[in-house]
């Protein structure tokens, strides 16, 4: 018998958001020990595909932030995702921004976060990655530490790439979080090409060492204007990046009704949907078909996921949609004929 998520949500929404998140993951880990996570979602139709040379069981993935330290891969994997992107992680542990830093906007089906890359550091994530039983695709989102100067950022990304390379299927260079001061400047031409040259060189060295190629993708902001987006796309092409994730959270504030909407941080959820989809559509026109797009942002229904696919995305990821609609959104998307057929 399936567990009614809406009853569970009624309880979780009475808790402070970070506490609710931690409790949810704890419960999933306990259920996973007895292979009972599947009670949250209906059986899924098969939809295998190949992207970046990787075989995915289906096109739907869990977005980073859901499992910051890679501790919950086996539990989340039982929900039926075709891939999980864990993290983001930084070379050294960091506590993130002061609490409170995570806000639900229920009337808008949105979330604002200014977490600030709170994580236990890449080495702790590697410990969990080594132990995972989940056979699906796992990527990891990596970033620089908050106190690392921009001109030293490449050293942080290279350190993380070295540590995670043997244990993941793809790596995401996060240069678009709005909650680390200055990080989005890495999307500018003054930094981006040099950063990617350095990280790509390390990727090739590691590919030779381990005799396997682990794709490198870049995650971008939804707040880039057309000129900036074209410049970023050109750099991704020239540096032979393997894929792009569009998008991170937004600093913009479309009309919102929730009182928490004035909080600082990145906005995700339903209000981000059309903005993120438009970035995907523009990217699809700027990039060669050899650079696939992974879409994330505002996927709250099967129709939202289908819109991302029609805009040009080969894979999609969800996070805030899980908060509001729970695991049933996974089967609703995956079993929708238009999502599979597109």
Residues recognised as catalytic: 177
Contacts of 196-201 with C-beta under 8 Å, sequence gap 24+, read: 196/235, 196/236, 196/239, 196/241, 197/239, 198/154, 198/157, 198/158, 199/154, 199/157, 199/158, 199/161, 199/173, 200/239, 200/240, 200/241
Question: Cβ–Cβ contacts within 10 Å for residue 167, how many?
Answer: 18
The β-bridge partners of 112 are 103, 267
CA 321 – CA 138 distance, rounded (Å): 20
Distances (CA, A) of 143 to 53, 151, 161, 252, 270: 24, 14, 10, 22, 26
Q: What share of the chain is helix, strand, coil (3-state, %, to 5)?
A: 45, 15, 40
Torsion (CA) 251, 158, 94, 246 in degrees, nearest 10? 20
Do β-strands 60-62 and 83-89 pair in parallel, antiparallel, or remain unpaired?
Answer: parallel
Burial class from Cβ neighbours inside 10 Å (0-12, 13-18, 19+) for residue 191 reads middle
CA 250 – CA 272 distance, rounded (Å): 7
317 sits in the region (left: phi over 0; alpha: psi -120 to 50; else beta) called beta
Q: In angstroms, what is the C-alpha Rg of the chain? A: 18
CA 292 – CA 308 distance, rounded (Å): 13
CA 296 – CA 139 distance, rounded (Å): 14
CA 102 – CA 179 distance, rounded (Å): 12
Q: Are 162 and 206 in contact (CB under 8 A)?
A: yes
């Amino acid at each position: 018998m399936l567990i009614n998520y809406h009853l569970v949500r009624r309880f979780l929404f009475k808790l402070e958001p970070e506490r609710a998140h931690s409790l949810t993951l704890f419960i999933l880990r306990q259920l996973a020990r007895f292979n009972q996570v599947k009670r949250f979602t209906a059986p899924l139709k098969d939809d295998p595909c190949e992207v970046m040379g990787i075989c995915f069981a289906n096109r739907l993935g869990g977005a980073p932030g859901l499992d910051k330290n890679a501790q919950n891969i086996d539990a989340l994997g039982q929900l039926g995702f075709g891939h999980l992107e864990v993290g983001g992680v930084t070379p050294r542990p960091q506590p993130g921004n002061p609490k409170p830093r995570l806000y639900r906007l229920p009337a808008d089906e949105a979330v604002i976060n200014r977490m600030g890359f709170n994580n236990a550091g890449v080495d702790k994530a590697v410990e969990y990655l080594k132990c995972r039983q989940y056979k699906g695709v796992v990527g990891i989102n990596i970033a620089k530490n908050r106190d690392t100067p921009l001109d030293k950022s490449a050293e942080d990304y290279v350190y993380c790439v070295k540590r995670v390379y043997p244990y993941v299927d793809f790596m995401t260079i996060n240069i678009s979080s709005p909650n680390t001061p200055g990080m989005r400047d890495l999307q500018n031409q003054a930094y981006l090409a040099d950063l990617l040259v350095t990280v790509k060189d390390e990727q090739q060295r590691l590919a030779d060492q381990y005799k396997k190629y682990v794709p490198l993708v870049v995650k971008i902001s939804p707040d880039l204007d057309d000129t900036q987006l074209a410049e970023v796309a050109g750099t991704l092409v020239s540096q032979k990046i393997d894929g792009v994730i569009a998008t991170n959270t937004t600093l913009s504030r479309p009309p919102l009704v929730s009182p928490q909407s004035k909080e600082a941080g990145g906005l995700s959820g339903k209000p981000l949907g059309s903005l993120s989809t438009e970035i995907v559509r523009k990217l699809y026109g700027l990039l060669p078909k050899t650079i696939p797009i992974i879409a994330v942002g505002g996927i709250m229904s099967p129709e939202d996921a289908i819109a991302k696919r029609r805009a040009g995305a080969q894979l999609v990821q969800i996070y805030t949609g899980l908060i509001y609609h729970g695991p049933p959104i996974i089967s609703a998307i995956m079993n929708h004929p238009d999502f599979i057929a597109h």
